[in-house]
Amino acid sequence: MHISEGFLSPQTLAAGWAISGVGIAYGLKKTAPGEIVRTAMLSSAFFLASLVKVDIGPGSAHLSFIAPMGILLAWSAYPAVFSALLLQAVLFRFGGLAVLGVNTASMGTAAVLSHILFGRASRSGSAAFSAAAAFAAGVFGVMCGAALTGTWLVLSDGDMTASVGILLAAHLPVAVIEGAVTAMMTVFLRRTFPDVLKPSGLS
């Protein structure tokens, strides 16, 4: 879901930095000192998962673990996403520094929305209900991130609509995989370390 440099207008880039700046600042405020290690670990998981990517026009498809980050970190997902994307841009030139704000806004917002919509459900109820909610969160997180990425592209250039359709279609199998991974992770944590499912950046 990285957007490469050169596809977005200055106004869109500015809007992305504004949204991500607010999200990062609020996420840092909501992150307790004792949760920094967990935030760093999930940021590392996001960093590694999204290194394997397939370029699709102005964007790319890759694993991201957006929903697990949202479920476990809530608002703290914003600084976690930003840190990982910054390292990817500097070390591997994924995306780029200019589009760092937009990419952070897309994936950080998708993670927070995954928490708001599915976080409580994934931690409560029966094991089957929890797994179903976590699967839905995984699918939603990927598709929401892809949709937000497409929105930035269309806002900059209306002719990108066709490319956005391809981008969304390419993320469907990724969404199913992430849904399954999120469900398995949630079931495992409920059985072994249920306290871990209590996110650090509660709103």
Scanning the chain, the segments in alpha helix (DSSP H) are: 10-30, 36-49, 66-73, 77-92, 100-114, 120-123, 127-156, 161-192
Q: Supply the pTM of this predicted model.
A: 0.88
Domain ranges, ordered by start, for the chain: 10-197
Q: Residue 198 in 3-state DSSP?
A: coil
Do residues 58 and 185 make contact, with C-beta atoms less than 8 angstroms apart?
no
Do residues 88 and 95 make contact, with C-beta atoms less than 8 angstroms apart?
yes
pLDDT in tens, the chain (203 residues): 678 787 789 999 999 999 999 999 999 999 988 888 889 989 998 888 777 666 655 555 667 889 999 999 999 999 999 999 999 888 887 778 999 999 999 999 999 999 999 998 998 888 899 999 999 999 999 999 999 998 998 888 777 777 778 888 888 988 999 999 999 999 998 888 888 777 655 54
Q: Which CATH number is 10-197 given?
A: 1.10.1760.20
